[in-house]
Copies of this chain bind each other. A is one copy, B any other.
Amino acid sequence: MPRVSTDQLAARRQHILDGARRCFAAYGYEGATVRRLEQSTGLSRGAIFHYFRDKDALFLALAEQDARRMADVVAEQGLVQVMRDLLDTARKDGDGSGDESSWLGTRLEVSRRLRTDPEFRGRWQQHSAELTAATRERLDRLAATGALRDDVPAAVLAQYLELVLEGLVSHLAMGLPADALDGVLDVVEQSVRRR
């Protein structure tokens, strides 16, 4: 067997994650059968499960990667920007299944499994903690510049933003219209800032 470089391994792993993202977004966790994962990645089950122990490990790796990218956006632009990105994706293609860089599909599945699978809930906790930490840091930086309202603890504002994000994800999961929500997100953004 030819030797494969670390770069090639990483690229192959990412290729699988991108295909799996489309697959989970289109069919949901239960509907993403091994056959469908093969189709969407263009690889055999042997190749896929060489990189990921099982479907659950694959989904968790995907959700982790998306959570990290979400945390990066939060650090740079805040949680409201994450919500605006989700909204844009929903407008473009409904469930994020067409856009392999979109985290909407994964986020909808994470939410669904958090509600229905207590075991998954436990495994997910550390990743949600990462996003919370990124949100807190971002708010602390805003506070240092005097842009944040200071009559409410930053921890409460962070929780507020996470609650709205959850509402948005749920709204989109129900297939409710996304068009009029920009104004709503403006209200959310204003309400954490100093007036």
Contact = CB atoms under 8 A, between A and B. Distances in A.
Interface of A: 111-112, 114-115, 118, 121, 152-153, 155-157, 159-160, 163-171, 173-175, 180-181, 183-184, 186-188, 190-192, 195
Nearest to A168: B163
Contacts of A160: 184, 187-188
16 contacts: A114-B174, A115-B170, A118-B175, A121-B175, A156-B187, A160-B184, A160-B188, A163-B167, A163-B171, A163-B181, A164-B164, A166-B166, A166-B171, A167-B170, A187-B192, A191-B191
Contacts of A195: 195
Contacts of A168: 163, 167
Given A163-B168, A167-B167, A175-B121, A153 B114 contact: no
A187 B152 contact: yes
A115 B166 CA distance: 14
Nearest to A165: B167
Contact of A159 (B111, B121, B173, B181): B181
A152 B190 CA distance: 11
B187 A191 contact: yes
A166 B159 CA distance: 15
Contacts of A188: 160, 191
A136 B192 CA distance: 24
Pairs of residues from A and B, 6 with the lowest C-beta to C-beta distance, nearest first: A167-B167, A191-B191, A166-B167, A156-B183, A163-B167, A170-B170
Nearest to A180: B159
Contact of A156 (B159, B163, B184): B184
Contacts of A175: 118, 121
